[in-house]
Amino acid sequence: MPAPAAAPAAPPSLDSHPLAPAALSRASVLYTDLDGTLLGPGASLLASAEGAPSLTAVRAVVDLNRAGLTCVICSGRNRWQLLEVARLLGWDSYIAEVGCVIVPGRGEAPLYFTGDWNKDALREGETPYEAITRAGALELLRRAFPGRIEEHAPWHLNREATHVLRGNVPLAEAQSALDTLELPVRIVDNGVINPPVHTLRGVAEVHAYHLIPQGVHKSDAISRDLARRGLEPADALAIGDSATDVEMADAVGLGVLVANALDDARVLEAASTRANIAATRARRGEGWAELADAWLAARSELA
Ligand SMILES: [Mg+2]
C-alpha cells in the first residue's frame, strides 16, 4: 500500500514570518472573516476559542478602532447580517456572500459581482441567488445526495447572490454534478459547523457549503475594494480560517490564518502554494487579537 502523502507544513508563525514586519507596518486596512476567525464557538464575540466568556477579541477590536485602523468584514454571511455586525463593532463597510456583494459604506447601494457569468445570465429583476435556484442547482444536489445536503436554515434567507447549504457530500462529485448545469456554479466547503437542528440523515460531521457564481473569489472583491479606496495590495492585511480565506492573501500584503485554520488539510494545501501567509499561535478571536497586537506594535515602531 502506498504511504499516504505527507500533509504540507504549516505556514510560518506571524511572529517569525519574514514578510510580516514590513507588511504590518505599512497596512492600514484589515479584511477579516467572522465565523471561526474573529468569533468563538456559537459565533460569539464574547467567547474564547474554547467557549469560555472572554473580552480578548472585543479588546482587540477596540484597540484597532482607537488607532483609527480600518477593518472590513469579508464573510459568507448576507449583507443584512453584516450590517448589524458592522454596526456593533463600529465598522463601516463590508463584503458579503463570499465576495459577491460589496457594501462600500453603511447606507450605500451594494455592488454585485457574478464572476464568469454571461451578461445575459440574469433575467430582468432576478438576483444571482434566484438564478442559481432557477438553474436547478439545489434540486440537482438533493437528488444526487439524498438526505446528505439541505439549506442551512435559517441562514439561507435574505441572500442575493449565493446559497448556503449544510451537509456532507464528496466535493469533487458535487462539483461534477453542478458542471452539468448551464449556469456556471461553484460549490465551496466552508468547514465543519454544529447546527443545533437539521434534517440530514446519517451525517456525523456537518459542513457548511456555499454555491457561488463561478469565478467569484473573496480576493477579487478585496482587489476591487482596495482600488475603490485608492490603495495598493501592500496597504492591506487579511485574516481568516478556511481554504477560501487563504485566497484573500492574493489581494493583500500578508494573509493571516488563525491557528484553528491549520486543523484543516485543505487550508494547509492552499497555504503551501503562497509565500505571504502567516499563522497566529492562538485560535479564533485570541488569534485575531494576536494579529491586532502585532499590527499595532509594528505601526507604533514606525511612529
Ligand atoms: Mg470562517
| Mean per-residue pLDDT of the chain | 95
CATH number at residue 66: 3.40.50.1000
- Please give the distance, rounded to the nearest whole angstrom, from the Cα atom of residue 265 to the centre of ligand 1: 15
Residue 15 lies in a domain: no
Q: Is 53 helix (H, G, I), strand (E, B) or coil?
A: strand
Residue that finishes a domain, picked among 162, 193, 213? 213
- Please give the distance, rounded to the nearest whole angstrom, from the Cα atom of residue 241 to the centre of ligand 1: 5
Distance from chain centroid for Cα 16? 24
pLDDT of residue 2: 59
* pLDDT interval class at 174 (50, 70, 90): very high
- Please give the distance, rounded to the nearest whole angstrom, from the Cα atom of residue 119 to the centre of ligand 1: 30
Mean pLDDT, residues 45-49 = 97
* pLDDT interval class at 302 (50, 70, 90): confident
- Please give the distance, rounded to the nearest whole angstrom, from the Cα atom of residue 284 to the centre of ligand 1: 9
Residue 144 predicted with pLDDT over 90:
yes
Shared domain check, 78 and 153: no
Shared domain check, 149 and 33: no
Q: Tell me the residue range of the domain where 38 lies.
A: 20-112+219-302
Shared domain check, 294 and 165: no
Of 3-12, 56-65, 101-110, 275-284, give the lowest mean pLDDT range. 3-12
Residue 258 lies in a domain: yes
Residue 295 predicted with pLDDT over 60:
yes
pLDDT of residue 191: 83
**Alpha helices by DSSP H, 38-164:** 56-66, 79-89, 128-134, 137-144
Shared domain check, 199 and 52: no
Cell of 296: 499595532
Of 74-78, 190-194, 265-269, give the lowest mean pLDDT range. 190-194
Mean pLDDT, residues 124-152 = 96
Shared domain check, 52 and 192: no
Q: Which helix (H) or strand (E) holds 131?
A: helix 128-134
Residue that finishes a domain, picked among 154, 186, 213? 213
Q: Give 21-39 pLDDT, tens digit per residue.
A: 999 999 999 999 999 999 9
Shared domain check, 298 and 239: yes
Q: Nearest 5°: phi and psi at 183? A: -90, 125
Shared domain check, 26 and 175: no
- Please give the distance, rounded to the nearest whole angstrom, from the Cα atom of residue 122 to the centre of ligand 1: 29
Is residue 114 a contact partner of residue 161, using CB atoms and an 8 Å limit?
Answer: yes
- Please give the distance, rounded to the nearest whole angstrom, from the Cα atom of residue 39 to the centre of ligand 1: 9
User: For residue 213, what are the β-bridge partners?
Assistant: 185
What single letter denotes the amino acid at residue 40? G
Give the Cα separation of 97 and 164 in Å (integer): 9
- Please give the distance, rounded to the nearest whole angstrom, from the Cα atom of residue 35 to the centre of ligand 1: 4
> Which residue shows C-alpha cell 492552499?
270
* pLDDT interval class at 5 (50, 70, 90): low
